[in-house]
Structure formats: structure tokens, C-alpha cells
Structure 1
Amino acid sequence: MSQKPAQHNKRDAMDSHAAIAAARGTAHILVAGPTASGKSALALAIARAHGGTIVNADALQVYRGWPILTAQPNAADRAAAPHALYGHVPDDAPYSVGLWLAEVAALAATGARLIVTGGTGLYFRALTEGLAPVPPVPPQTRAEADAHLADGGIGALLADLDPATAARIDTRNPARVQRAWEVLRATGRGLADWQDATPPPLMPLDTVLPLRLDMAPDRLNPRIARRFDAMLAQGALDEARARLPRWTPRAPSSQAIGAAQLVAHLRGEMSLGDARDLSIVATRQFAKRQRTWFRARMRNWQAVAPDMAR
């Protein structure tokens, strides 16, 4: 298998068929994009055309309990091509970008062509830029951070951060701020310092075909609504019902968009119609953040205007 990435013009968007053609002969392909933009359809088309294992790069699709609500590949898709790292983590188990990267490295070591697809930008950044060797944060530090956040809000955590880290992270994202606070508290070194010691990446950008799907909101938003309705028809509410006896809002798997709303409906706190509408709005907001992040951080990726999204 050739290790030289296909030549492509990053300045102009290509359609899905051109993207499939460009994937011919490349060692690995990365397919990123906002939720509901057609990433899975394109990855599957590439696998059918050229072979390869489709690898999940979505932080919520790794969890076992929400296959429908997180839009994991269905049985037909899995029969059409090999898939990896979907639904393999128990809902209450800790998981991290470091664990994900190690699992991708093990898959790459087999010599298989990987088609890495998903919407978690941090995963792609670690894959193509490297991951800082930050030690695990002790549970007591995390508990301390939780208490600090509850008492003083995100501002209390920000006030304790070193200037270099505060200038580098998304200070509006509580999870990112808390992570930085925990690292500083546990190690005595700021997250920026750890990041500056990052080792070489597993898949440098110039050795792969990096595809970035984009879809205008006027096309994407109706697709988001249709997909959520399809999820309900396929049994997303049953997934929430199964989780209800052991529902924990702060569990990583509970962050699946729509999970909290469906649980609230099952508890009698809102109608199913309201749960649906709120979930769709939350998904649209998430997609907007993804599009902004991808455009800012993935300028050197080949833009794809999806015309085969489903």
C-alpha cells in the first residue's frame, strides 16, 4: 500500500465522488465534519471502493449504551465494511483521548488502511499533531475541581490557571477549563507546558488524506431534525428508558445530545414533543460549534461539499 497521500487542492471544495477517487492508494484517510453532515456515508463509500477499516473518532460513539442516539453504524453498515472503536466502552468507564489514540495506534500497527471518521476535533488533533504526555489526574483532584466549579463557577477555575494555558484553551468551555485546572493542581505544571512537550504525531497531516466535510446550516439543520426523528422511530426512547434506573447526569456517556431531554420526558418533566425540540436545538448549536472549530483548526484539510449525505 502506498504511503504517499493523494494530491489534492485544498483551496477548492471537491464533491464526495472526487473525494472517493482521491482516496485511492492513500495509506490512511481522515473524514471530519459536523454532526449529521454525512461523514459515515462518505467513509463507508471509501471503504467499499478501496477497502479499509472505518475507525470511530467520536467521543460519544465509543460508549455502549446509546447506539441509536449517538448514530453508531447499524448492522448493514457493519456488514459492508470493518468498523472499530464503536460502542466498546462501558457507559460508566473512564475514557480519554490518550486511550483512543493508543487503540488507533494498535489498529495502524496491523497494516490495515484506516478510515478515521468522526466529529471530535480533539481526537483528530491528537492523531495529526501529537498528544501531550499528561499523567492521569487522581480522583480526589477531580472531586476537588468539581467542588470548586460548583462553588465559584468557571471563573474560579480560570483565576487559578497559569497565563500560558489560559491563553491557549477555550475559556468558555467548562470541561476544558476544568481539565486544565486539574492538570495544574495534580502535576504542578500548566497544561500548556505539557503540550509543549508533545511527542511526534501518529499520523502527520502530510502522510494522510484529510477530508473536512462542510454543509451550510440551511441544509444541515433540516437533516438534524430528520435524523433525530429517525432516532426516535428506531428506539432512542427505549435506550433512555433502559438507562433511567442508573442515570447519572455527569457520566461521560450521559453527555449524548438528547439523553438528558429524553430522561426528563420519562420522568414526567416535559412532553416528548418538547424533549424532541430541545434536543434538535442542542444538536444544531453543537453542529455550529463544530463547524466553527473545524474551519479554524482544519484550514489545511481538503474541503468536501457532501452530495451523498444520508
Structure 2
Amino acid sequence: MIDLDRIDPARHLLIAGPTASGKSALALAVARAQGGLIVNADALQIWSCWRVLTARPSPGDEAAAPHALYGHVPPGVAYSVGDWLRDVAGLLDRRLIIVGGTGLYLTALTQGLAYVPPTPPAIRSEGNARLAAEGGLALMVAELDPATRARIDLLNPARVQRAWEVLTATGRGLSDWQADTPPPLISPADAQRILVMADRDWLADRIASRFHAMMRHGALEEVRAMLPSWDPARQWARAIGAPELVSHLRGEIDLPTATERAIIASRQYAKAQRIWFRGRMKDWLPVQADTKDANGN
């Protein structure tokens, strides 16, 4: 994938890439060769209930090199990118190898994250009602402040509603809040940033093979254990493949159908990741995935 001699052991290393592209294997190779703490930057791998289903590092990998922020959040606890940044800040006394596919985590880490106050439930409910009403999107757009209106995608209902909620709740436009972005936790000068690139067809095959391996190693049993507390609205329930396997366990679809749908969802997730990387991380060093890597993490 990349010659380890090209990686500077004196700086932090950030590794991004789509799911199943081999980035975790690269992080482990670097840690074993150069030292460093491997830190998770995948919003799905933070949950304690999902090891197999989210392809977290194996116990053997964790024994081979120190890892942090994997499986450290219990289900039911809210966890944001701001929480993740605070957790990473507590680890900066050593060389970090930060690896993951959550673009928002990585861009917030290297570009800074603006603080925007949370939306009160009453305003969120009002926003939902307004958006659902006839012509609601256009009315929300009309009420936005000009600076925010010029910056966001006005055809994206979620973005418009979020901007409207911020303005309504605080009296200050979203663009103003974002203008106060603090310095990044890790500046580009302090880290080497690598973006793993993968051929689409090769990655699609790798995703399918890995999901079948997950099923052999207990993914369905993980989902079965969480079925009594299943709530699709919760953050932990967004793990790729979980909704499909829940549908199977409830007798709604057979297992081959659930498996195929989960694989399709994983491929769609990888596509969304690539779109984020192309749009937001153009200055990262692109490296080709190692097509001989067996793990695909």
C-alpha cells in the first residue's frame, strides 16, 4: 500500500479510507514497525455492543499494538464528534495513529469544529412540523439569514431545517456560529495524512466477502443480543447491517435476503465515504489499497 519508510515516525499519522479498504491493517503495520497508539476514527466502532458487525480490531490485533476509543461507548449514551475530539485531546501526550472512515471526525480533527448550541426539543418539534407542511421547505429557506442561505444546500431539507433551528433557538445564523471555528486539534503540519483509495469493483467484492465472514464469526448473534433493546432511532442502531439482520430475526425477511441487503447498504456507505473524501479531503496523500491484504479493514 505504502512504503513504511515514507511515514514520519515523529508526527501523528492519520489514515482515512472507505470501509473494507485495508486501512486498519496499515495502521497496525505502522504501529508494530514504528510504535504509536492506534486511535479509532469510525463512528460505528465506538459502540461496545458491536465488535464483529463493525469489524473492530480483533483481540489479537489489540494485543499486538495499543488501541484506544474502540467499543468504549455503551448503547443508549449520546456521543458526538465533539465528544470524540475531547477523547482524542486526552491522548495527545503520545504519537497517535488515527484511523477510520468517518469523514466528519477527521475533518473536524484537522480543520476545527465550530460549537453550535444543541436544539431545544420544542424547536426541533416545531421544525419537523414546519418541514412536513406544504411548502415548508421554501418557507424555512425564506426565514434564514442571508449569510447562511448563501452557504448551505437549499435543496437539502435536513440542512435547511438544522439552519432554521439554530437561528430560531439562538437568534444567530448558522454561518456566524461556524465562523467562530477554533483552531484544529491536530493541524496539518503536525500530522501525515493518508487517504486509502480503492477500485470500486475490487472494494465491492471485498465488502461482500467481509460481510459473509462477519456472519460466520457471530454478527447475527451480536444483533440477536441487542434485539430486546432495539430502537432504530438510537445512534448505536445505525451500524451497517444491523437493521437488515433485525428484520430477519423478527421473521420479516429470510437470511439470504437480509445478508444481500446488508451488503448493498455497506456498498452505499462506502460510496458516501468516497464522496466525502473527494469533496473535503483533497489535500490528503492518496495511496492505493493493498489488494493482497486479507483483512480489508
Distance 1:22 1:306 in 2: 16
Match status 1:224 vs 2:222: no
For residues 25-69 of structure 1, the C-alpha deviation after alignment (integer angstroms, 9 at most, x for no partner) is 332000001111111111111111100111111111111111111
Preserved CA contact (<8 Å) 1:157 1:181: no
Aligned length: 292
Answering whether residue 95 of structure 2 is matched by residue 113 of structure 1, we say yes
CA apart distance, 1:247: 0.8
**Identical-pair percentage:** 57
Match of 1:12 in 2: none
Q: Name the amino acid aligned to 1:197.
A: D
Q: Distance in 1 between matches of 2:216 and 2:156?
A: 33
Could you tell me which of 24, 28, 40 is aligned with 1:44?
A: 28
1:217-271 CA distances to partner (integer Å, 9 max, x unpaired)?
Answer: 1110000001111111111111111111111111011111111110011111111
Against the structure 1 CA distance between its residues 219 and 152, is the aligned structure 2 distance closer, same or farther, given a 3 Å change threshold? Answer: farther
Quote the residue 2:83 is aligned against. Answer: 99
Deviation of the 1:84 alpha carbon? 0.7
Distance 1:240 1:162, change over 3 A: farther
Q: State the match for 1:80 in structure 2.
A: 64
**Contact 2:37 2:94 (8 Å CA) reproduced:** yes
**Contact 1:158–1:166, Cα closer than 8 Å, also in 2:** no
Structure-2 separation of matches of 1:238 and 1:175: 34
Residue matched to 1:8: none
Distance in 2, matches of 1:154 and 1:74, equals 48
Q: In the superposition, relative to structure 1, how do residues 156 and 26 fare at CA in structure 2: closer, same or farther (>3 Å)?
A: farther
The answer to whether the 8 Å contact 1:157/1:177 transfers is no
TM-fit CA distance, 1:143: 4.4
1:65 paired residue number: 49
Consecutive unaligned residues of structure 1, counting only runs of 5 or more, are 1-15
Report the counterpart of residue 250 of structure 2 in structure 1: 267
Q: TM-score, structure 1 length as denominator?
A: 0.86
C-alpha distance in 2, partners of 1:153/1:85? 43
- The 1:72–1:195 alpha-carbon spacing in structure 2 relative to 1, beyond 3 Å, is same
Q: Decide whether aligned partners of structure 1 residues 138 and 21 sit closer, same or farther in structure 2, where only a CA change above 3 A counts.
A: farther
- In structure 1, the residue matched to 2:281 is 298
CA displacement at 1:134 relative to structure 2: 1.7
Take 1:245 and 1:153, find their aligned partners in 2: how far apart are those partners?
A: 39
Cα distance in 1 for residues equivalent to 2:82 and 2:226: 27
1:185: Cα distance to partner?
Answer: 3.1
Contact 2:240 2:265 in 1 (8 A): yes
**What is the distance in 2 between the residues matched to 1:154 and 1:118?**
37
> Do the aligned residues in 2 keep the contact of 1:154 with 1:177 (CA within 8 Å)?
no
CA RMSD in angstroms, aligned pairs only:
2.3
Partners of 1:261 and 1:276 within 8 A in 2: yes
What displacement does 1:102 show? 0.8
Which residue in 1 is equivalent to 2:2?
17
Aligned to 2:14: 30
Pairs within 5 Å for 1:46-195 = 46-108=30-92, 111-148=93-130, 155=137, 159=141, 161-169=144-152, 176-195=159-178
Q: Is the CA contact (8 Å cut-off) linking 2:50 and 2:222 kept in structure 1?
A: yes
* Corresponding position of 1:287: 270
Paired amino acid for 1:213 = V
Shift in Å, 1:164: 3.6
User: Offset of 1:176 from its aligned partner?
Assistant: 4.8
The residue correspondences of 1:193-204 to structure 2 (distance < 5 A) are 193-204=176-187
For residue 195 of structure 2, give the secondary structure of its aligned residue in structure 1: strand
The one-letter amino acid paired with 1:17 is I
Map Cα deviations across residues 166-222 of structure 1 (whole Å, 9 max, x no partner): 554466766555544443332222222111111111111122100000101111000
